[in-house]
Structure 1
Amino acid sequence: MYRLSKISFVLLLSIGFVSCQSGNGKSQDKIILADIPVLELQPKSIEVPKTYVCDLQAVQFVEVRAKVEGFVAKIYVDEGQFVKKGQSLFQLTSNEFNEMVNSANAKLMQARAEAKSTALEVERLKILVDKKIISSSELELARAKNSVSQSAILEAESLLKNAQTGLSYTTIKAPFDGIVDRIPYKTGSLVTAGDLLTNITDISEVFAYYKVTENEYLKYMRDRLEEVSESDENGDEVVSLILSDGQTYPYVGKLETMEADFEKGTGSIAFRVRFPNPDQLIKHGASGKVQMDNMLDDIFLIPQKSTFEIQDYSYVYILDKNNIVRVRSFVPLQRYGVYYISDSFEPGDRIIFEGIQQLKDGMEIVPMAVSEKEAYDTLVNAF
């Protein structure tokens, strides 16, 4: 068998002429190219990595806002600092709320004293009624006054709780373990209810959100129903992450869930992948690409050098059983290294591997079979 590296030389020398007899008795020469490399196609099943642009978000991200109005009296933390759940972050001025608590306490004490007084009055009148000294109507009136005083206690207790709650809002604490974001207000600043004081992010883990089309979603769900793909012991599909600098993240993620509805404008649906982040390399709001292995069955690998394009359509030269070259169009599904992936062929189809510049539709050739390994080595060595 000839070496593929000598094909260009062979193509120039291997042109033969066959004498044919035309209908009018005159001879006509037909060009036959010899030793043209031909690759026989066979279906394959391969795993093709597919990437999707994703947004990376902290597993917990909370905006810390003021619940009451006041001046910033103290700031206990700094930007970028790690804090524990319940740790104090800010202290707002609390004089007004202290006074409200004191006032509510006083009202509660007064209500309890009045309730005690009316209770004693009820006991005193009950004795007199039992001795038939006074009528029972006075006792009923005393009992009504006691009920009113008990209600006053409940009201005072509610006022005290509200005052204490308002006072507690002047000390802002971390809702969970996390990292403090930017602090826009400094000591002495006036803040009102709802003003953003900072953000707390927990990046011990991160979520990657990416969107797929409806067709990709349907294929994924059917594959999940029909067979078990590569997964861990919990059945979660393993996903890789490529960061914005092109480096592959050292930890793999797990595909957890998806949105409930398709977006009306784009027709896409978002998937969520959870990645561990023990080194805190990934920050909230970063970007990257998730990469998943997509199994393709019964597809054909078409060398890119064996194809040509005309007006955005892809073509190859097919060799029929009589060794006649025919032009065939095909639809590439995607690129795969030095190949195109396509499902537009049949097992045993023979395509011209090299030398397509010398060919035309309808030409007859003498084929030289090329193995898949020889074709691959030639394609790789060309780069």
Structure 2
Amino acid sequence: MKSIYLALIVLTLYSCSKPQAQLAPPPPSLPVATITAGNDTTYQEYPASIEGVVNVEVRPQVSGTLDKVFVDEGAFVSAGQPIFKINEQPYRASLNNALASLHAAEAAQINAQIEVDKLTPLVQNKVVSEYQLKTAKAAYDVAKANIEQAKANVSTAQINIGYTLIKAPVSGYIGRLVKKQGSLVTPADVEALTQLSDVHDVHVYFALGEQDFINFKEQYPGATLKDKLKQLPSVSLLLADNTQYARLGKIDMIDGQFDKNTGAITVRASFANPQGLLRSGNTGKIRLSLQHSNSLIVPQSATVEMQDKVFVFTVGDSSKVKKQAIDIIGKSGANYLVKSGVKTGDQIVLSGMDHLQEGTVIHPEKATDKIAKN
């Protein structure tokens, strides 16, 4: 009896000391969604420079002292409005001198004509030789030529006087006034007196790289670039503070060749600017829209970036996850537009990817039937 009692004690102690098998933790419950395809629009932004439709350097065409400045910097002027006045006294004196020379030439012509008229009957009556008449006629021709030369000198002097009053060649806004009243100005000055910009409409220039240009051309129908330009949608202009300009523009010019140094081609968009809010020299960004048909939509929050690549975790058989690289072609709102790596109908994990490993089994929870398109 005693031996049976001891055996029971040993059995009890052995059973208490034997480790119990640990239960495996349940698979993590993670939200998943199904990838869909749809049409969407992405936007590309390119640095741009703004210029008025007309940008004119105003330069003097004669030398002299700047007597008057009729406008202030930034003022709007109309075509033909006086801007500067150069001292005209030296040119007025040149005009008077030219007029005097003209009058002298006219008098010399009269004298030459008188001499011809006097000698003509004498030659006919053989009183004097014909040689004297020919000499008189030659003198008359010289006097006539001197009149033409004097008239040209008068015209030149008058033109120079006209150049002393500098007028606006086009309507627009006055730039910085480099020279002030009393300054000596010449046509050879390095800097212009000012710049005049017509900014009722502005041209916005930006550059496309070769690959961007190819993608840009493929978006729109047309056999030639001219045909494609007609199909292009309007473009937006973002100003330096990232606010969008109120009016939309239209791309109307593509340069004839790529820049060999930058490998880019210049594109121009035109914008109306009736209030003059944009000025030459402004900078900004052109926003181009690109249409994508049947693009796969993947939330950015469902991706993981590693070594310059973007991955998602797809859910396969037996609820095992697989890390899959994807090829992104654009971004729309909070979603990536994907070209390859996944396909329509694939399920991907939406969150909790930080602790996932290849082959991990999860418990999928349907967050939504389909990924929402923003």
Q: Output the TM-score relative to the length of structure 1.
A: 0.80
Tell me what 2:70 maps to: 76
Structure 1 distance, partners of 2:125, 2:220, is 87
Structure 2 distance, partners of 1:58, 1:206, is 4
Establish whether residue 350 from structure 1 lines up as the match of residue 344 from structure 2.
Answer: no
**Alpha-carbon distance, 1:104 to partner:** 0.9
Select 2:358's aligned residue among 358, 361, 377. Answer: 361
Establish whether residue 215 from structure 1 lines up as the match of residue 233 from structure 2.
Answer: no
- Find the structure with the greater CA-based Rg: 2
Structure 1 distance, partners of 2:223, 2:353, is 42
Structure-2 change in CA distance of 1:224 and 1:117 (3 Å):
farther
Select 2:298's aligned residue among 296, 302, 309. Answer: 302
Q: Output the amino acid matched with 2:32.
A: V
Tell me what 2:250 maps to: 254
Aligned counterparts, 1:1-383, within 5 A: 33=27, 36-195=30-189, 196-226=192-222, 237-320=233-316, 323-344=319-340, 345-357=342-354, 359-365=356-362, 367-371=364-368, 375-376=371-372
**Alpha-carbon distance, 1:235 to partner:** 5.5
Structure-2 change in CA distance of 1:167 and 1:365 (3 Å):
same
Cα pair 1:212 1:268 within 8 Å, conserved = yes
Structure 2 distance, partners of 1:255, 1:305, is 35
**Alpha-carbon distance, 1:256 to partner:** 1.5
Structure-2 change in CA distance of 1:228 and 1:134 (3 Å):
closer
Structure 2 distance, partners of 1:65, 1:92, is 12
Structure 2 distance, partners of 1:220, 1:133, is 94
Deviates more, 1:174-183 or 1:117-126: 117-126
Tell me what 1:7 maps to: none
Structure 1 distance, partners of 2:336, 2:124, is 106
Structure-2 change in CA distance of 1:354 and 1:188 (3 Å):
closer
Structure 2 distance, partners of 1:134, 1:32, is 141
Q: Output the amino acid matched with 2:272.
A: P
**Alpha-carbon distance, 1:34 to partner:** 7.3
Q: Output the TM-score relative to the length of structure 2.
A: 0.82
Structure 2 distance, partners of 1:131, 1:237, is 92
Structure-2 change in CA distance of 1:149 and 1:322 (3 Å):
farther
Structure 2 distance, partners of 1:239, 1:117, is 76
Cα pair 1:65 1:194 within 8 Å, conserved = no
Q: Output the amino acid matched with 1:86.
A: G
**Alpha-carbon distance, 1:288 to partner:** 1.5
**Alpha-carbon distance, 1:369 to partner:** 4.6
Cα pair 1:38 1:353 within 8 Å, conserved = yes
**Deviation digits for residues 227-285 of structure 1, max 9, x if unmatched?**
999x9x96564111122222221111121112222222211122111111111112221
Structure-2 change in CA distance of 1:225 and 1:304 (3 Å):
closer
Structure 2 distance, partners of 1:140, 1:245, is 84
Structure 2 distance, partners of 1:110, 1:368, is 109
Q: Output the amino acid matched with 2:216.
A: Y
Q: Output the amino acid matched with 1:281.
A: L
Structure 1 distance, partners of 2:127, 2:332, is 107
Structure 2 distance, partners of 1:315, 1:349, is 14
Deviates more, 1:319-328 or 1:363-372: 363-372
Structure 2 distance, partners of 1:190, 1:119, is 47
Structure 1 distance, partners of 2:61, 2:24, is 92
Structure-2 change in CA distance of 1:227 and 1:365 (3 Å):
farther
Structure 2 distance, partners of 1:361, 1:112, is 107
**Alpha-carbon distance, 1:208 to partner:** 1.1
Structure 2 distance, partners of 1:305, 1:324, is 20
**Deviation digits for residues 63-87 of structure 1, max 9, x if unmatched?**
2222222222222222232222111
Structure 1 distance, partners of 2:222, 2:71, is 53
Structure 1 distance, partners of 2:308, 2:37, is 25
Could you say what secondary structure the match of 2:132 adopts?
helix
**Alpha-carbon distance, 1:131 to partner:** 3.9
**RMSD, aligned α-carbons:** 3.1
Q: Output the amino acid matched with 2:90.
A: E
**Alpha-carbon distance, 1:327 to partner:** 1.7
Structure-2 change in CA distance of 1:349 and 1:150 (3 Å):
farther
**Alpha-carbon distance, 1:348 to partner:** 3.0
Cα pair 1:177 1:202 within 8 Å, conserved = yes
